[in-house]
Chain A
Amino acid sequence: MNISKRNYLLSAVWVVIGIFLMAGCATEHRFVKKTAFKETHQIVIEFAGPVDEAWAKNASNYTVYEKPDPDIKLKIQGVALSADRKTVTLTFTDALNQSQPHVLTANHIASEGKTLGTAILSVKKVYLGYLFSILIGAMIINNFVFTKYLGLCVFFGTSQKKSTAVGMGITFTIVIVVSAMMSWFLYQFVLRPYRLDFLQIVVFIGLVSLSVQAVDTILRKVNPLLFKAFGVYLVLVIANCIIIAVPLILADNEYNAFESLMLALGAGLGFLIALFLMSSVRERLELARVPPTYRGLPIAFVVAGLFALAFLGFSGMSIF
């Protein structure tokens, strides 16, 4: 049991480190190295090579809007080009709302007489911080159990003992990460291009059952010891509505791969936290003198209500 716990922790740490390393070098156009906010009014674009001055200084070549409102184009006051002609600084008339991702379109980039096509870039505040805020948001601020009220059947069913709660939480976290990534991939590359959005419920529920089955088979072969400890919870995972809610949320919000991973991880860890807190209380409730009408589920609901009130205190909190 001890060894298996450590294995899980180690692999989780490696996954997180890997994501942070990879997230640093994500851009959407081959000629653009970096986009970032600067101070309150500016956006900086760094190109891989020198761009033509006439193109770069023409403000009509750029359009910028906040991701949720594509109709409201932001007004550009001026454009500045650095001496080596690689860095363009856009200055806006109004201060930018940096907590929202912005979409920047650079039309027909001209460099040394060649046109390099149109680049559609997204500008985000410190990317790692943004990812981290998604993780913490899904884990604590918008905890799926206590502030979104999902997955309650399994939550009340498996929170009677601490060992059960932790086992369920860890199994759930792994399965939700696997299935959310798979459904994100399928949604972005199959359902959306072929306009099959309306099939999302059928496809996602199928995928979830598939990934539960896959984790079951792989774990049984690779690590029988682990399977013995966590196999029982795998069947329960599929009865949890969080696992189908996360792919639907991902599809609605059009998150990219890293953001999806962070949301899935946050949902899983949040469920683990909720289960652990609840099981600690319920172990004590066993010894308490509860009125007979409240014994069992009713008192568990009241306790969960108290937790939900406590988690209400996190609402509206923002980290970065």
Chain B
Amino acid sequence: MPATTKTNFELVSNGILNENPIFRLALSMCPAVGISTTVMNGIMLGIAVLFVQVFSSCTIAAIKNYIHPRIRIPTYTLTIATWVTVIDLVLAAYMPAAYKEMGIFVKLIVAFAIITMRLETFACKNSVPASFWDGIGMGFGFMFGMVALGFVRELLGMGTILGYDVLGFRPLLFFVLPAAGFFCVGIMMAMFNYMEIVYNRKRRAR
């Protein structure tokens, strides 16, 4: 693949819509199911992933000419691990409450397939600015997915948004249960599929 010709805006929107990490690529599902119970969790983990994605993309894009192709995967893994350590220590120091809520998932960013995949398919072939914008797009795409899931689950399960009482009652307590994460992701994926089917049908009719 030659260097990308897309504009910065296209790079960002690509990550949020066409190649949304959670609903379209179906990568990094663990946090989407595990801790999407509230909007706040989604935002916090989204920020962490955004940070790691952008910084590792930029690092790899900057040093891509010095990496021997044979050891590129270990190099990616270690780069990601370094940035995850940084964000892990920063969150533990400055936001202990949110850090405790997210538990082990901050450390597990290191095993998220989405970050390695972006380094392998994008950052190692493109310039630093393009990789930066791609990282921003992917990070916000992930955050968008997490916030959407968190919004549905928090609203239906607790009747609140970001901790503020919106509905005044709890419609479906079931959605707070961790097991509901599976149902939520499944239904949302089906909705994305449905939109795609409708969109394709319209285009064919035209």
Contact of A153 among B27, B82, B84, B179 (CB under 8 A): B27
For A299, A301, A304, the residue with the greatest tally of chain B CB atoms inside 10 Å of its CB is A301
Chain B neighbourhood of A243, CB < 8 A: 111
Chain A neighbourhood of B100, CB < 8 A: none
Interface check A198, CB cutoff 8 A: yes
Asked if B85 and A198 make an inter-chain contact with CB atoms under 8 angstroms apart, the answer reads yes
Asked if B182 and A209 make an inter-chain contact with CB atoms under 8 angstroms apart, the answer reads no
Asked if A201 and B84 make an inter-chain contact with CB atoms under 8 angstroms apart, the answer reads yes
Interface check B197, CB cutoff 8 A: yes
Interface check A245, CB cutoff 8 A: yes
For the complex, give the distance between the alpha carbons of A202 and B81 in Å. Answer: 5
Contact of B33 among A152, A206, A294, A300 (CB under 8 A): A152
For the complex, give the distance between the alpha carbons of A29 and B68 in Å. Answer: 51
Interface check A122, CB cutoff 8 A: no
Asked if B183 and A301 make an inter-chain contact with CB atoms under 8 angstroms apart, the answer reads yes
For the complex, give the distance between the alpha carbons of A139 and B182 in Å. Answer: 20
Asked if A302 and B81 make an inter-chain contact with CB atoms under 8 angstroms apart, the answer reads no
Smallest CB separation, B81 vs chain A (Å):
4
Asked if A308 and B78 make an inter-chain contact with CB atoms under 8 angstroms apart, the answer reads no
Stretch of A84-92, A95-103, A142-150 on the interface side: A142-150
Asked if A298 and B190 make an inter-chain contact with CB atoms under 8 angstroms apart, the answer reads yes
Asked if B182 and A305 make an inter-chain contact with CB atoms under 8 angstroms apart, the answer reads yes
Asked if B190 and A294 make an inter-chain contact with CB atoms under 8 angstroms apart, the answer reads yes
Which residue on chain A has the smallest CB distance to residue B188? Answer: A298
Which residue on chain B has the smallest CB distance to residue A292? Answer: B197
Which residue on chain A has the smallest CB distance to residue B181? Answer: A149
For the complex, give the distance between the alpha carbons of A198 and B93 in Å. Answer: 13
Interface check B34, CB cutoff 8 A: yes
Contact of B26 among A156, A205, A206, A309 (CB under 8 A): A156
A149-B30, A202-B85, A209-B74 as given contacts; A305 in contact with B179, CB under 8 Å: yes
Per DSSP, chain A at the interface is helix
Interface check A229, CB cutoff 8 A: no
Looking at chain A, what size class is its interface with the partner chain?
A: 35 or more
Q: Tell me the A10-52 residues at the B interface (CB within 8 Å).
A: none
Asked if A201 and B182 make an inter-chain contact with CB atoms under 8 angstroms apart, the answer reads no
Asked if A152 and B89 make an inter-chain contact with CB atoms under 8 angstroms apart, the answer reads no
Contact of A302 among B84, B110, B186 (CB under 8 A): B186
Asked if A297 and B111 make an inter-chain contact with CB atoms under 8 angstroms apart, the answer reads no
Interface check B177, CB cutoff 8 A: yes
Interface check A151, CB cutoff 8 A: yes
Smallest CB separation, A273 vs chain B (Å):
17
Asked if A293 and B193 make an inter-chain contact with CB atoms under 8 angstroms apart, the answer reads yes
Smallest CB separation, A214 vs chain B (Å):
14
Asked if A293 and B30 make an inter-chain contact with CB atoms under 8 angstroms apart, the answer reads no
Interface check A240, CB cutoff 8 A: yes
Asked if A305 and B34 make an inter-chain contact with CB atoms under 8 angstroms apart, the answer reads no
Interface check A54, CB cutoff 8 A: no
Interface check B189, CB cutoff 8 A: yes
Asked if A209 and B77 make an inter-chain contact with CB atoms under 8 angstroms apart, the answer reads yes
Interface check B120, CB cutoff 8 A: no
A147-B178, A149-B178, A308-B178 as given contacts; A201 in contact with B110, CB under 8 Å: yes
For the complex, give the distance between the alpha carbons of A248 and B111 in Å. Answer: 12
Interface check B169, CB cutoff 8 A: no
Contact of B113 among A150, A153, A199, A249 (CB under 8 A): A153
Smallest CB separation, B150 vs chain A (Å):
14
Q: A245-B111, A297-B189 are in contact. List 9 more A-B contacts (CB 8 A).
A: A146-B179, A149-B30, A241-B112, A301-B183, A302-B186, A305-B186, A308-B178, A308-B179, A309-B177
- Chain A residues with a Cβ under 8 A of chain B: 146-153, 156, 198-199, 201-202, 205-206, 209, 239-241, 243-245, 248-249, 292-295, 297-302, 304-305, 308-309, 312
30 contacts between A and B (CB under 8 A): A149-B178, A150-B34, A150-B108, A153-B26, A156-B26, A201-B81, A201-B84, A201-B85, A201-B88, A202-B78, A205-B77, A205-B110, A206-B78, A209-B77, A240-B111, A241-B108, A249-B104, A292-B193, A292-B197, A293-B191, A293-B194, A294-B190, A295-B193, A297-B189, A298-B193, A299-B186, A301-B183, A301-B189, A302-B186, A305-B181
- Chain B residues with a Cβ under 8 A of chain A: 26-30, 33-34, 74, 77-78, 81-82, 84-85, 88-89, 104, 107-108, 110-113, 177-183, 185-187, 189-191, 193-194, 197
- Going nearest first, the 8 A-B pairs with the smallest beta carbon separation are A301-B186, A305-B182, A149-B34, A308-B179, A241-B111, A152-B29, A298-B190, A302-B186
